[in-house]
Amino acid sequence: MRVAVIGVGMTKFGKHPDKSLVDLFADAFFEALEDANIELKNVEAIYFGNFVGEMTDGSANLSGFVADEVGLKNIPAIRYEGACASSSVAFREAVRAVKAGYYNCVAVGGAEKLLSAGTAIGTRALATAVDGVYEMTAGLTFPGVFALAARYYAKKYEIPLQKLREMMAYVSVKNHKYGAVNPKAQFYGKYGDLKVEDVLNSRMICSPLTLLDCCPMTDGGSAVIVANEKFAKEVGGDPVYVLGTGQASGGSLFRQGEDIIKAIPRKIAAEMAFREAKITPKDVDFVEVHDCFTIAEIIALEAMGFFEYGTACYATAEGVTSIDGDLPVNPDGGLIGKGHPVGATGTSQIYTAVKQLRNEFKWNQVKDARIAMTDTLGGDFGTLVNIILGVD
Amino acid sequence: MFMEFFNSLLEGKLLGMKCKDCGSYTCPPKHTCNSCSSRNLEKTILSGKGTVKTYTVTYVAPMGYEKEVPYVVALVELDEGPWIIGRLDVDPKIAEENDLTDKRVSIFAKEMPSEMFYPMKEKRIVPYFRIEG
């Protein structure tokens, strides 16, 4: 039996110092529950993604508190940690459990509070996704990972570094343009008319990446309701079906050698998802990819099979990935424009995909979208999840 | 095994594993060969020489590393094959103004203060790359 997403919810992304991780999840959860038009008692389990609650909020064992907060006192609730892909891992596990027949209907979501934690703690918390022994001793940060990848990409594909920086800047310009019109985005109403020069000239974080090459630190929550087709049809509404999922793992960045710009685990995960969905990249109408940094969006699109290696930078600069291009990418603003509350990011991509496929994303709707794909990266290519969704 | 790796590096020896099945090297050591996943490995000392493949100057540090910025993190391909990570022993300004990729380097270690979350609590041992010539 097929598995469907029948409801979606997310908080506004941004700064929420007044909300706990549990509050952020609960706000998104109740929005998703209402969207699905189901009762609380229909939810049989909670799959909760969170990356660094212990460092930002002093809370690790969150799943029971999450279930209790939403009034589902004794149902199974599990926390999933896969760095930035935490709630995508949770989503994939939920889909598999429903497909296997263990549950009819479950909730999946995530929450994170990195902006309220401040830059020093936030940067250290994010760096727990790199190899804690060999990479951390060198002081490798997350912008550092993609800065290393950017310089190597330029070298390997024989592109002058400055020229690559300019092409990368188009990712930021595009994603900020879309984030600026998305009412749920961290930068709603801001940076909508950014120029390439603004990206190049903003503050250097890890050369060659400037502040505007990076996604922001974000507080936020997101949640979706996953059910089998029978339950989805009983409830009514507009189910969006899970056509395929894929997941793969990778070791420390330095162990990947020259593959750091090829993201091999992502290639494996994407191929797994395409196989299960019985489609090819050409069939996908738009994608939500993990643009934690401008270069990350470029590498992602190549590894997923949408562009040849070394070419997505040119396609981006030519507008192929804009809303009216051949392959719209991140119409909600992506991590750069919408924000990146790590544990909540995966299910917020599902949120956008579902709203788009239902033709409800009125501020930046992709025309005639029938099939969407999401891509979430945890760590330095350590955890990769791809999900393909579609409507009948 | 990471303590042995770092303590050897302080003594000027770069510890790795040689695979008795496929002949390739893994560095730092791992339970399995990085190329073929075999467990049929033997400890070996590598040359400590390599080539800079990519690097970045870090200006925004995580908590615990603030006093060290700006610093240059690099990925180096060792002559025996493995890529390893460490810091380039170079003025960050020089790293920004020049293309240091393809430069030949040799590895050594520096002792630095540890931080709250690092697994070695007394001190961090940081691999450094010295540019040759």
What residue spans define the domains of chain A? 3-119+216-390
pLDDT in tens, A132-189: 999 999 999 999 999 999 999 999 999 999 999 999 999 999 999 999 999 999 999 9
Q: Which of B33, B71, B75, B87 to mutate to test the interface with A (most CBs of A within 10 A)?
A: B75
Structure tokens that stand for A296 in this block = 């990350």
In chain B, what residues touch A257 (CB-CB under 8 Å)? 77, 82-83
Burial of A17 (0-12, 13-18, 19+ CB in 10 A): exposed
Give the DSSP H or E segment for B56. strand B49-58
Contact criterion met (CB < 8 Å) for B61 and A121: no
Is the per-residue pLDDT at A201 higher than 90?
yes
- Per DSSP, what are the bridge partners of residue B43? B17
Contact criterion met (CB < 8 Å) for B62 and A148: no
Catalytic option among A16, A84, A215, A292: A84
User: Residue B133 has what pLDDT?
Assistant: 78
Q: Does A117 touch chain B (CB under 8 A)?
A: no
The answer to whether the CB of A183 falls within 8 A of the CB of B97 is no
Closest CA to A220 of A37, A49, A45, A1: A49
The one-character DSSP state at A283 is G
Closest CA to B35 of B46, B24, B21, B50: B24
User: Residue A99 has what pLDDT?
Assistant: 98
Where helices occur in A157-195 by DSSP H, the ranges are 161-179
Averaged pLDDT score across all residues of chain A = 97
Q: pLDDT class for B96, splitting at 50, 70, 90? A: very high
| Model confidence pTM above 0.90 | yes
The answer to whether the CB of A25 falls within 8 A of the CB of A111 is yes
Pick the CATH number of A3-119+216-390 from 3.30.1280.10, 3.40.47.10, 3.40.50.300, 3.40.50.2000: 3.40.47.10
For A124, the closest of B64, B82, B95 (CB atoms) is B64
Token pair 């024989």 is found at A158
Is the per-residue pLDDT at B1 higher than 90?
no
pLDDT in tens, A280-324: 999 999 999 999 999 999 999 999 999 999 999 999 999 999 999
The answer to whether the CB of B45 falls within 8 A of the CB of B14 is yes
Q: Work out how many CB contacts closer than 8 A connect A with B.
A: 119
Is A84 among the catalytic positions?
Answer: yes
Section B1-25 average pLDDT: 97
CA torsion sign for B44, B48, B53, B54 is positive
Contact criterion met (CB < 8 Å) for B57 and A206: yes
% of chain A with per-residue pLDDT over 90: 98
Structure tokens that stand for A58 in this block = 């002093």
User: Residue A4 has what pLDDT?
Assistant: 98
Q: How far is CA A113 from CA A57, A68, A87, B60, B107, in A?
A: 8, 20, 14, 19, 39
pLDDT in tens, A18-69: 999 999 999 999 999 999 999 999 999 999 999 999 999 999 999 999 999 9
Residue A96 and residue A107: Cα distance in Å, rounded? 13
Is A16 among the catalytic positions?
Answer: no
User: Residue A237 has what pLDDT?
Assistant: 85
Give chain A's end-to-end CA distance (angstroms, integer). 15
Pairing of strands A240-249, A286-288: unpaired
CA torsion sign for B66, B68, B69, B74 is negative
- Per DSSP, what are the bridge partners of residue A82? A84
In chain A, what residues touch B90 (CB-CB under 8 Å)? none
Section A204-217 average pLDDT: 98
Q: Which of B2, B56, B126 to mutate to test the interface with A (most CBs of A within 10 A)?
A: B56
Averaged pLDDT score across all residues of chain B = 97
For A152, the closest of B54, B95, B125 (CB atoms) is B54
Structure tokens that stand for A221 in this block = 């929550």
Pairing of strands A286-288, A371-378: parallel
Q: How far is CA A253 from CA A111, A260, A340, B34, B106, in A?
A: 26, 7, 21, 12, 20
Residue of A nearest to B53 (CA): A152
- Per DSSP, what are the bridge partners of residue A221? A111
Cβ-Cβ contacts under 8 Å for A159 (sequence gap 6 or more):
A153, A167, A310, A313
Closest CA to B104 of B59, B26, B66, B47: B47
Section B72-91 average pLDDT: 98
pLDDT in tens, A61-89: 999 999 999 999 999 999 999 999 999 99
Residue A297's Cα: distance from chain center in Å?
Answer: 11
Q: Does A9 touch chain B (CB under 8 A)?
A: no
For A138, the closest of B2, B66, B86 (CB atoms) is B86
pLDDT in tens, B104-113: 999 999 999 9
Is the per-residue pLDDT at A357 higher than 90?
yes
User: Residue A293 has what pLDDT?
Assistant: 98
Contact criterion met (CB < 8 Å) for B75 and A260: yes
Q: Which of A114, A133, A146 to mutate to test the interface with B (most CBs of B within 10 A)?
A: A133
Section B9-37 average pLDDT: 98
User: Residue B85 has what pLDDT?
Assistant: 98
Tally of CA atoms within 13 A in the half-sphere of A320 that contains its CB: 13
Is the per-residue pLDDT at A129 higher than 90?
yes
